[in-house]
Structure 1
Amino acid sequence: MLRRAALLAAVVLLGAPALAPAGTYPPRGSDLYAGVSDGGSKQDYFAFARAVGRVPVMQAFETWEAWSQEAVKRWKRTETRGMLSLSTSPCYGCDGVVSPRAIRRGRSDRYLLTVNRRLAQWGRPTYIRLLPEMNGYWNPYAAFDADGSRRGRSHRTRQFRKAWKRTVIVIRGGPRRDINRKLKRNRMPPLTSGRRSDHPPRHLPEPEVAFLWVPQTSGSPDVKGNGPNAYWPGGRYVDWVGADIYGKFPNFAGLNRFYRRYRDKPFVIGEWAPWDADRPAFTRHLFRWIRKHRRAKMAVYYQGFGDNNPFVIQRYPRSKRALRRELEGKRWVGRAPDSRRPGG
């Protein structure tokens, strides 16, 4: 009888639909999350919400080595789920403050420990869009320049993959002994505090974080060795896979190929916007694509910085109306499930 019951249970489990791992923090069931980038103030979020409806995720852009509490404050004031887009550059096309090789060697461990601690203190699930568009020459952690020439040993894709792994291992936290074991297995030096006289804590906090790997669907420049897979760090170090798409460059064929290649992760559109053309058909096409692709769970609108930039949705009235209609669909969640402010 027990054997029969166990067999029956196994059949039920095998027949059950696969669930996303708890650490990915996806929306429930068939629900979908929309998000918007942080323009630098909470007013930017509320202006977007007035234009198209409330969205549950806010993406903040942060520079490596320069942790700021401002993003956390805005997540709290807007009651959104936070997303960090972490870059080694303070602006588009600027030099990086640290190379992938230096991150691999532990030169940024003090910063990573700060991120680990601050996100644990925040106490809410946070998405980290780590070093995005890494195969685009405009990013200082890319391996190639615009002309297709390599940037040197410190920027090889192997260095990038190691830097990504170290970042994920440290920010996820846990016992220092386990962290160092993972680093050693990946042929990287042990965790440091960044100060000669101090040792890292014996046990790091374990914040609720999910890491988003979001390259370009093809390399820029599109040369051998600069495709997305050259930067792939391995499935255990990635929680979501995603890509960016804009109305100015609506490469849905590339998006389809990319989506099919990485099959076992929830999918995010890390950035999207009309960009220089008010074509509501692009917005409708993108949202139809999301609805038809089962693993697609989140789309984040990029609204740029400043009132006159080419990404503000208010510049595109027809696209704005199309977006509002799409977000009125039943599957799109209006508020983050953890929108209550900590302590209140």
Structure 2
Amino acid sequence: MRPTVPRVLAVVLALLLGGYVFVVGPHLAGEPDRRRAAAIDAALPPTHPVHRDGQDSRDGRDGRATFPAPGDAFVGIMTDAGVHDLTEAARFTRATGHLPQVYEFSLDWASDTFDAGPVDDVARRGMMPLLAWEPWDHRAEPDEERLRGVQPRYRLSRIIDGAFDPYIRAWAKGVASLGHPVGIRFAHEMNGYWYPWCEEANGNRPGEYVRAWRHVHRLFEQAGADNAVWVWSPNVHYENATPFEELYPGDAYVDWVGLSGYYGTVGLESYQSFDRIFTASERRLRRLTAKPLVITEVGATDAAGRKAEWITDMFRSLPRHPGIIGVIWYEAVRVIDWRVTTSAASVRAFAAGVSAPRYRTPWSPGAVPRARP
């Protein structure tokens, strides 16, 4: 076959199309992912090496820094995407100038198996991983809040009786293999009615929450997961809530206690200060335990234009609560947009508050979680 101009042009065109399909096209398709990864690396550079399979990156108990340092408090965040995408964490860090020392993320028992990679990635970036570990299937969550706690498969009695032991042991073994601490905020807000592990829901009985907690804790102990930091975290007390006293597993099973509380939740839109939301519940906790307290979820609405004011008030109030060793802002949207980054005024207020020296204690994989307020 003689080469002719049309045939040569056809070959050239075919080569160009092939190059686009197999080289240029895939490159362009992956460009948004590369840009996102680059933005995350710029804001949250992976500068902390971690070791796996029990090779602890810590260099011996003597001389190891306490986290947070005595008198200091950390400021972390929780996002919707969690360990699956750190974009929101990067955006928060760029906006406020503050690297969150703790990164909280949710995983549930129906869809999430242990994966060290994303957890280690959080630790490499200088953030202590804190897992909100939820024994339910969040994908089956109904719109009606009163029905959210109805998932018979995840009754507390089934946890106690060992129905989930293989799953729990797999997680315990995985956590034990990490070379850094991991917070375990197991079955949080248990004093409410909106989760299947609440004693007010799902056919659960009084006393079963404590038994379930202790059962899970023992399985982690048996696996040698002494790097797990157990965070018992009810919602702030409200009328008709299950009393803290009936749900606390005991100091031998808890490292940190926590509280969830927000300004502006549905039905409670009127302005409430940080002190008004948390002080009474903190006092109730102190009748039970002297363990360090973390505000494990907090946020503020901007519906009335007062989010920046509320943030300023929070940072002004925190030094009056020396037992609070950390605050985790809910940097996400759930019915309400709680994010700091949605308002320039809120960003300025947060950046000003978090710039105080008491919030600057860095976290590293070798740090020892504080055991006293």
1:83 alignment counterpart: 130
2:14 alignment counterpart: none
1:37 alignment counterpart: 78
Is 1:257 the counterpart of 2:280? The answer is yes
The residue identity in structure 1 corresponding to 2:195 is: N
The answer to which of 93-102 and 47-56 deviates more is 93-102
Structure 1: which 5+ residue stretches go unaligned?
Answer: 1-24, 146-150, 175-203
State the Cα RMSD in Å. Answer: 2.5
2:363 alignment counterpart: 336
Q: Taking every aligned residue pair, what percent have the same amino acid on both sides? A: 22
Task: Decide whether the 8 Å contact of 1:61 with 1:86 is kept in 2.
Answer: yes
Task: Decide whether the 8 Å contact of 1:57 with 1:80 is kept in 2.
Answer: yes
- For 1:134-149, what aligned pairs fall within 5 Å after superposition? 134-144=190-200
Task: Decide whether the 8 Å contact of 2:262 with 2:277 is kept in 1.
Answer: no
Is 1:218 the counterpart of 2:245? The answer is no
1:311 alignment counterpart: 338
Rounded to whole Å, the distance in 1 between the matches of 2:149 and 2:236 is 22
Rounded to whole Å, the distance in 2 between the matches of 1:95 and 1:318 is 40
Rounded to whole Å, the distance in 1 between the matches of 2:225 and 2:198 is 29
The one of 235, 241, 244 equivalent to 2:257 is 241
Cα distance change on mapping 1:77 and 1:239 into 2, 3 Å: closer
Shift of 1:95: 4.6
Shift of 1:261: 2.8
Shift of 1:73: 4.5
Task: Decide whether the 8 Å contact of 1:141 with 1:160 is kept in 2.
Answer: yes
- For 1:248-327, what aligned pairs fall within 5 Å after superposition? 248=264, 249=268, 250=272, 252-253=275-276, 255-263=278-286, 264-277=290-303, 278-279=305-306, 280-304=308-332, 310-327=337-354
Structure 2: which 5+ residue stretches go unaligned?
Answer: 1-65, 142-147, 368-373
Shift of 1:34: 0.9
Is 1:167 the counterpart of 2:190? The answer is no
Task: Decide whether the 8 Å contact of 1:244 with 1:272 is kept in 2.
Answer: yes
Shift of 1:144: 2.1
Q: TM (normalized to structure 2)?
A: 0.67
Rounded to whole Å, the distance in 2 between the matches of 1:327 and 1:254 is 20
Q: Secondary structure at the match of 1:61?
A: strand
2:144 alignment counterpart: none
Shift of 1:309: 6.0
Task: Decide whether the 8 Å contact of 1:79 with 1:339 is kept in 2.
Answer: no
Task: Decide whether the 8 Å contact of 2:127 with 2:363 is kept in 1.
Answer: yes
Rounded to whole Å, the distance in 2 between the matches of 1:337 and 1:104 is 35
Q: Aligned pair count?
A: 275
The answer to which of 282-291 and 308-317 deviates more is 308-317
1:191 alignment counterpart: none
Post-superposition Cα deviations, 1:252-291, rounded to whole Å, max 9, x if no partner, equal 3452122123331101101011134342222122223321
Q: TM (normalized to structure 1)?
A: 0.73
Post-superposition Cα deviations, 1:90-143, rounded to whole Å, max 9, x if no partner, equal 435375452111111111111221121111222201111111111222211112
Rounded to whole Å, the distance in 2 between the matches of 1:339 and 1:301 is 24
